[in-house]
Amino acid sequence: MTRMVRWEPPLLPVLGQPAFPVRQAWCVGRNYAEHAREMGVDPTSSPPVFFAKPAQAVHGQSRVTFPAETESLHHEVELVVLLAEGGRNVSASEWADRIHAYAAGVDLTRRDVQDRLKKAGQPWEISKGFDQSGPVGAARLATEWQPAAEHLISLQVNGVVRQQAELGTMIWPVPALLERLSAEFTLQPGDVVFTGTPAGVGSLNPGDRVLARIDGLPDLEFHLAST
């Protein structure tokens, strides 16, 4: 008897294009100085912090089930990069042709779980990589939209602005970030990169409606269901 093992990657919509199959999600911490400071870190003394979410955490659903065992589910609005090609040790100037599209996303974080694990010196995967922890909006091709310093990135909860910044306040712009990330990992087609969040992260509650917005990209909207 033979058994075929099959799996399907999560798919993200891209405006006017076939859906994008997600292979892996990479994330960066502390890429906006104000957010680094609110987390108690000196932004001038620390290089970018990289971590991963499993592909299965990434989705385009408008309903997110509130995760278990947290009293502090934090929102982190982020510019998300979708890669058409990857590579190892790829310099900043070589990334332009390899970026397929951009989208608005949210890096959902069980902050209380993360704080506990950090204090214990343990890995914090479970605070960042739980199911549905990476909602991403429809993406727009890189040939149609490029990040610019004056583009605003923002997040609203129930219509109230919680986070807002200009993309130009990123410490590591996308090409520099990808250069650094590709020095650590061989990046591949299908990889998505969450590029860090600006200041103003805070807690979400069941029933909240979240709107993540980046100038020129489709809005990401989802609500938190209690079960």
Note the residues at the interface with Mn ion (CB under 5 A). Answer: 76, 107, 197
> Minimal distance in Å, beta carbon 5 to Mn ion?
32
Burial (Cβ within 10 Å: 0-12, 13-18, ≥19) of residue 159: exposed
Query: Among all residues, whose Cβ is closest to Mn ion?
Result: 107
Judged by CB, which is closer to Mn ion: 128, or 140? 128
* Element containing residue 111 per DSSP (H, E): helix 111-119
> Minimal distance in Å, beta carbon 110 to Mn ion?
12
Judged by CB, which is closer to Mn ion: 132, or 197? 197
> Minimal distance in Å, beta carbon 216 to Mn ion?
21
> Minimal distance in Å, beta carbon 100 to Mn ion?
21
At 159, phi and psi to the nearest 5? 85, 0
> Minimal distance in Å, beta carbon 227 to Mn ion?
26
CA distance 224 to 65: 6
Buried b (16+ CB within 10 A) or exposed e, 69-86: ebeebbbbbbbbbbbebb
Give SS3 for 183: helix
Judged by CB, which is closer to Mn ion: 107, or 191? 107
* Element containing residue 203 per DSSP (H, E): strand 202-204
CA distance 70 to 73: 6
> Minimal distance in Å, beta carbon 192 to Mn ion?
13
Judged by CB, which is closer to Mn ion: 131, or 144? 131
Q: Give me the amino acid identity at 114.
A: Q
Judged by CB, which is closer to Mn ion: 54, or 87? 54
CA distance 223 to 66: 9
Judged by CB, which is closer to Mn ion: 127, or 197? 197
